[in-house]
Amino acid sequence: MNASDPIPFVDLARVHGPLAGEIREAMDAVIAGGDFILGNALERFESEFADYLGVSEAVGVSSGTTALTIAAIAVGVRPGDEVIVPAHTYIASALALVHAGAKPVFCDVDGETGLIDLDSAAAAVSERTVAVMPVHLYGQACDMDAVGIFASDRGLAVLEDAAQAHGARWRGRRVGSFGHAAAFSFYPSKNLGAAGDGGAVCSGDPAVAKTARRLRNLGQLGKGDHAIAGFNARLDTIQAAVLGVKLGRLDAWNASRRRAARTYADRLPAGVGALSTRPEAEDVHHLFPIRTGARDLLRAELEVRRVGTGIHYSPAVHQQPPFASGTRSPRVALKSAERWAAEELSLPIFNGISEAEVLEVCARLEPSLAAPSTALAGGAT
């Protein structure tokens, strides 16, 4: 590629272009059948996705946020209960608990990975705590052995936020199969994305799945029989058809993301903070974050050099207006989450990114770091 070519942060056209024929065929089949709501393609995708994860149940819903809300209710979270949530995550992790009537209580994250810090989580536990939410952030697998012990010792449910981690593994087992329930998002830019919004609640517990199915469909047991106050939150059949086409490519796409991440790791300029490889984890690199004390200036420099970037997530969740008071324990400092929020910058990574593009990002990153404004502000950490 040429040194002047733009490098996008995400390019969904590269995913959909080669699959356009198959996607149209799958969508046409739904249109011809007319089963747009809770149709055959949805049932088929739910079964295939459950098999892929190694769980007995997958329940398609309207978004990842809705998946977290329904999963929380299905595992027994009730109004007034508290759930421990890392303060460095997408706001939906916490908003979903609010929608379930619960109170998110924030804990800090690990300085190296941005994943949940269980020592901090332990300090946030109170007599009202009923669950903990490990977030598999950036496509990294949390240490689910440690999370399981933490939760079991305290009698807590485990609610996995796997919205960014489709296909990731911890010690050979796919995330989404460890907790009492897990939530996935199929937002278009995810490793496995729909052609619109979508999500899934996954569980090895048939009772949890049964409740999730009722909740997504207005609490309905049968036609006209509404046993509980549910939601209108079904995954559209046509979106499930699109996801069914893509699911068979997911492992290959994840492998390409790992190759891109390795190239970044090998070629990033000295001093740039990046995620390390952990031997127990097989991460899927939904995002590729770096850390710099001059984040906003570096982003501006890269924009001039036609490199797309993203920021995830700033401010930290506990600093957002809906959570500015009453959602943090006085015993818990959230300094690492706040530092992540101030320093994180995501470089381009997506299904289909080329090695040449990754190398070019690294080539353009070095002069951006050396630019006077960036260097004077502190450079990389």
pLDDT of residue 223: 85
Q: Which residues contact 223 (CB under 8 A, 6 or more apart)?
A: none
What is the predicted pLDDT for the residue at 4? 82
Cβ contact 69:93 at 8 Å: no
Confidence of residue 1 (pLDDT cuts 50, 70, 90): confident
Tokens matching residue 246? 């893509």
* C-alpha distances out from residue 261 to 171, 264, 276, 330, Å: 20, 5, 10, 38
Sign of CA dihedral 18, 21, 22, 27: positive
Q: What is the pLDDT of residue 122?
A: 97
Q: Could you write out the DSSP letters of every residue in 106-142?
A: EE-B-TTT--B-HHHHHHH--TTEEEE--B-GGGPPP
Contact 353, 360 (CB under 8 A): no
Which pTM was predicted?
0.96
pLDDT digits (tens, 9 = 90+) for 3-36: 789 999 999 999 999 999 999 999 999 999 999 9
Q: Which CATH superfamily is domain 250-377 in?
A: Aspartate Aminotransferase, domain 1 (3.90.1150.10)
Higher pLDDT, 378 or 288: 288
Cα R_g (the chain), whole angstroms: 21
pLDDT given at position 282: 98
Does 112 have pLDDT greater than 70? Answer: yes
Give me the mean pLDDT over the 38-67 stretch. 98
Q: What is the mean pLDDT of residues 119-127?
A: 97
Mean pLDDT of the chain: 95
Domain ranges of the chain: 13-247, 250-377
- Which residue has better confidence, 369 or 141? 141
Q: Given pLDDT bands bounded at 50, 70 and 90, which one contains residue 316? A: very high
pLDDT at position 126: 96
Please name every residue paired with 77 in a beta bridge, in sequence order, or none if there are none.
none
Mean pLDDT within 262-287: 93
| Range list of H helices, the chain | 13-33, 40-53, 64-74, 92-99, 118-124, 144-154, 206-216, 237-247, 250-267, 295-304, 335-343, 355-370, 372-377
Three-state SS for 7?
Answer: strand
The HSE-up count of residue 268 (CA atoms within 13 Å, CB side) is: 21
For residue 239, the 8-state DSSP code is: H
Specify the pLDDT at position 378: 55
pLDDT band at 370 (very low <50, low <70, confident <90, very high): confident
pLDDT higher than threshold 80 for residue 331: no
The mean per-residue pLDDT over the stretch 335-350 comes to: 98
The CATH fold of domain 13-247:
Aspartate Aminotransferase; domain 2 (3.40.640)
- Picking from 255, 371, 362, 323, the residue whose alpha carbon sits closest to that of residue 86 is 323
Average pLDDT over residues 90-115: 97
- Residue 74: its pLDDT value, please? 98
What confidence score (pLDDT) does residue 326 get? 65
Write out the two tokens for 322: 């809906």
Measured CA angle at 116 (ends 113, 117), to 5 deg: 95
Residue 371 pLDDT grade (very low, low, confident, very high; cuts 50, 70, 90):
confident
Q: Is 315 exposed, middle or buried (0-12, 13-18, 19+ CB in 10 A)?
A: middle
